[in-house]
Structure 1
Amino acid sequence: MATFAALFLILYTLSVATTVEPSPSPDLVRSSCLHATFPKVCVTSLTLYKGPVTTPREVAQAAIKVSISRASKASDFLSALQKEANKREIGAVKDCASQISDSVDDLRKTLGELKQLRRGTFRWQMSNAETWVSAALTNEDTCLDGFKEIEGRVRSDVKKKITNVAKVTSNALYLINRLDHP
């Protein structure tokens, strides 16, 4: 019986150890985010990230994943907001939802490119990634432009959500630009 208990304890320990996601290295995150556009947002968002982050490439991938997650949540928020927006707001909300959806697509393409970096095509792939993240930022900025003539809660709620997405996306672009080899 004692042997069975010992075996169970060993197997349980191994299963727990393999299911726990590693936390990012705090020193790597801090040093990577030091000169980001929004360093505090960068450190906070990447410190909370669950997954392997041990290299600059993994930091950039994590930053893109955070941006995708936040943009997806903003897209869900905008979809729900369309149901309660008034006639004046509905056009801006719909346009913004479309732009944020495009941002999510661009960020997903970026993540795919970062996962496939190769020495022979590195510069081309980096150019693609930078272009797509820049396009995502432009979409986020254009989304906010649609609310310039609108006042009230809808505008402030959208601005808060999209500004948050833009900050993590801007930081992701910075971290991608720091990559210098596959």
Structure 2
Amino acid sequence: MPCSKMPGRLARIAVGISLSEAKLVPPYVSNLTRQAEYGPDPRAPNALRDCFTVFTDAVEQISNSLKQLGQLGSAGKAFVFQVSNVQTWMSAALTNEETCTDGFDDVPDCPVKTEVYDRVVKVKEFTSNALALVNSYVAREL
């Protein structure tokens, strides 16, 4: 493979890995929501429900990004529009992932909070790295 194609391929691989990791969070959080006992404090179940919602959105945004990366045209207006979509969706996904962890700020420390937070931080790192590779690829192409 020519070196000139590597940045685009790396970006697609990174987005694909981010998608694979992000897809694991909604079912995990949903399972926790059903299994955990929280007592009278509604903050943890509310944070879990919110996390499920925003992560479902993040998965869709990362999926859209991966599809768009697979359909990139050659340089020009179409390319600029397509990569702009990818950058926007990946940034939105990262924001949604951040919203999940923010939702636990007021939740008292407990195993559920720690488990979800640790897992989401890992996914945020993958998404952040993928976005950085997309941005690097775009910078090389424009």
Where on the TM-score scale, by shorter chain, does this alignment land: which range? 0.7 to 0.9
Distance 2:105 2:88 in 1: 26
Between Structure 1 and Structure 2, which shows a larger proportion of helix residues? 2
Matches within 5 A, 1:161-180: 161-179=119-137, 180=140
User: Per-residue CA shift, 1:100-156, capped at 9, x if unaligned?
Assistant: 110000000000110111123111111110000000000010111110111211110
Q: Which has the larger radius of gyration?
A: 1
Query: Partner of 2:87: helix, strand, or coil?
Result: helix
- Contact kept in structure 1, 2:54 and 2:100, CA below 8 Å: yes
Give unmatched runs, 5+ long, in structure 1: 1-27, 29-53
1:7-156 matches, within 5 Å, as 55-85=6-36, 86=38, 87-119=42-74, 120=76, 121-150=78-107, 151-156=109-114
TM-score (norm. length: structure 1):
0.68
Contact 1:122 1:181 in 2 (8 A): no
Letter in 2 for 1:149: D
Give, in angstroms, the shift of residue 84 of structure 1. Answer: 2.2
Q: Structure with the greater relative contact order (CA < 8 A, sep ≥ 6): 1 or 2?
A: 2
For residue 66 of structure 2, what is the amino acid of its counterpart? L
**TM-score, length-scaled by structure 2:** 0.86
Percent identity over paired residues: 37
Secondary structure of 2:35's aligned partner: coil
Partner of 1:47: none
Q: What is the CA RMSD across the aligned residues, in angstroms?
A: 1.6
Q: How far apart are the structure 1 equivalents of 2:43 and 2:141? A: 49
Q: Aligned AA for 1:177?
A: N
Partner of 2:118: 160
CA contact (8 A) 2:43 2:106 kept: no
Structure 1 segments of 4+ aligned residues over 3 angstroms from their partners: none
How many residue pairs get matched? Answer: 130
